[in-house]
Structure formats: structure tokens, C-alpha cells
Structure 1
């Protein structure tokens, strides 16, 4: 599939050789709804096969201005550093806190690791999955992305992926929520990203009850939606 248009971003995507060997999801353009006289917006995407994490999504958001597309956002920014800290070591465990994720739980850790890595950073790296749906039932579309977390040689965190939601009403898209993803819920979340239907979470892992207690999600029967407006 080839891109049409003159914007450098489109040309850049078109120049990457798309073959069955390296492409998991072919390049695509998605036209986004606009309000009143707002410029037309569209999302360009391609998903690559990636060793180690399975897939990497490349996303670019454009607006049509002055007769040509102009890039307003891309997920190809530099790697993000996220701070963590451990405290109150006792009996091969300690409290692990990642403030930007609103995460705090007691995790298993050796005394040697605690003494040498009690504070530091982890890296938000590639986007492994994404979706565009009305995830909070407010009648507007949001962008959701699953991002891989790299902790280095020592697996400090009990999760390797986070789920992020972005509002598409702002320019550029603004982050609304970040949630760590335990391994057991990843397949359910990735399915929900594509369809907007997270009802499988009610029959799968029990974490949906924990998320509801934290007011991250609302559950009505089998319907599960995200409380993004309160974040």
C-alpha cells in the first residue's frame, strides 16, 4: 500500500518497505470526526513485527490545512523516563511506587536489589497495540495505546506494559490516564482496544473489580467503560 500526499511524514511512511516479513498490520489512514469548521484530521498507522515485544505501532496524526496534510502529533517521540522508588524493605519484599502511574504495591525483592536499586527510572518504549474508540461513553473518540516498559537487566516491576488513553479533542492529543497492566489482563485489554468492548474483563481476571474500586472503570452488567473524564 502506498501513501498519497506531499507532507514529509507521509513520504517517510511510504519509504519504509512494507513486506509480509516485517509488517503485522498494513499502513492505513483513518479519517477522524470533526466538529463544526475544525480542520479535517486523520491518523496514519502501520504496525511492525518486532522481536522481543511482538509488535511496534507507528502512529502519526495529521490535519488538512492550506491544501495539504500537516503533522500535529506522532508517537515516535524519544523514550520516556519514568521514576520509581522502593521503601520499607522486610522479609524479601518492599513497597514499590511509580507516582506517574498512581501505582503502589508490595512486591517481592531481594535485599541486594533493594539496597542497590531502591530508586531509579524505567523506560516507556514502543507502542505494541492501539485503538480508537469511545472508551468512556461520552460520544467522542479517544486514542488508547499499550506501551512496553523496560526495566533493564533486573525485572523490578510486576508488569511490563501500561495502558494509556489520550483525548483527541486537544492539539496535540493530551494524556488522560495511565494504568499498569498485569500480564493476565493483556489479551482482554488488547481485544477491547480494537472493539471498544471490554465485557470479557468481567469473565476473566478479577482486576476489573479493583479498577472499579479505584474509579478507573465503571461496570454496568457486562458493560465496562473507562472513567476518563474524572482523571
Structure 2
């Protein structure tokens, strides 16, 4: 506490009454009774802990002042901290500045926090799941680029089951799609781990937008608002394509918002 500061003590009314009664019983004033009690407690504490320094410079200064009788306010403050724990200690300057509570040290549990940002684990898990989906899609397209049509019997059946329309699955068509999805997978994973900056964030946002568009179109097909060909496409769209696009699209949108 600086020399320009003055400590004031406010006792709980019920505690003041009890202290006054005890002080009167031994023939002392309230201030003298509290001072004597504090000095006795200080002697016991200093004897027990003389090999260890006081917790802080401020408390050491208060102890020295209390023992030398420099001020009566300091023993009263120590009385509240050592004996009763119910004092409201306030500090004010002689110039008449507003009274403010003296800050107290926070427990170590509150002073030290983890350096990892909040939600890092969930962010990385979402990125890994989304990147896994995109990578699987890209690898399947690479497989189809070899001319294989599994799990369909031929290219036309594959196109109708996957897209709901007759589209070529020749290498010039599926290879760019494979490169696109694999690049998106790498960018999403990098963004989940905080790499790539604005570029990977933009790619993740583009992935979210693409999945959202496909999911909304899937809802249109599921509600029969859009024409869908006969065959397995309607069932696959209802049970697999649309839920996956909407769910992963939502996860990608949340991931893209993270910086």
C-alpha cells in the first residue's frame, strides 16, 4: 500500500457487538483488544513459520508495522484476515477518490489456464471426419476412372444410382472430380489443425456450400418436388446421400467459421 493510501475497516455489526462485549469483559477498548489478539496471533505464526517468508511483500510490511505500532489500521486489517475473515477492507486516497476493493490474489486454478484454444479437440475431430468423407469419395472416383463400375452392373446403372441421370463416368469426367474432392479433403484437414490460413478456410467454406446445395436438392428429390428416375436412386438419396450431405455440410460450415 502506498504512503498516500489509508486503509479503512468495516466490521460486521453482529461481530462488532461480540468483540465489544469481550473487550469490555477484559477492560480494554475494542481497538486495543483486536490489536492485542492480532499481535499474539502474529507471534505464534512467526514462530511456527520463521523459516519461511511471508506470502507477499505487502503482508510482510503489514506485520512489521503492526509489531512496531506504526499504525492501528494495519492490525485491524490483519485481525479480519487472521481471526475472523469477515472484514470488508477498502482503500481510499486522501484526495477523496472513490473507495475501491483491494484486489486479492486468485487461486492457482484460476490464474493458470490451458494454452490450447477452447474446442480444439472437437474441431480436429470434425475436420478429420469431413476429410475422411471427401477422401473416400475421391478414391471411389479414382476407382471408377479405371473403368470399373462396382457396385453397379454397368456405367449407365452406376450413373443412375449415383446421380439420378445418365452421365458418362469416363476418366475425363471423374478424374477432375477426384482431384477436387481430394484437394478439399486436404484443405479441410489443414484448416482443422490451424494450417493454411485464409485459403484453407475458404476451401472449407466452399465444401460446406457444395454439401448444403446437394443436401437441399436431395430434400427436393425426397419430397418428389424434383423428378427422380426409377431404381435405387430414390432410396439411396433418402437414406444415404441427403443425410450425409446435410450433416457434413453443417459440420463444414461450423468448421469454416473457426479461425
Q: TM-score range by the shorter chain?
A: under 0.3
Which is greater in Rg?
A: 2
Q: Which has the higher strand share?
A: 1
In the superposition, the TM-score normalised over structure 2's length comes to 0.21
Q: Which has the higher contact order (CA 8 A, sep 6+)?
A: 2
In the superposition, the TM-score normalised over structure 1's length comes to 0.23
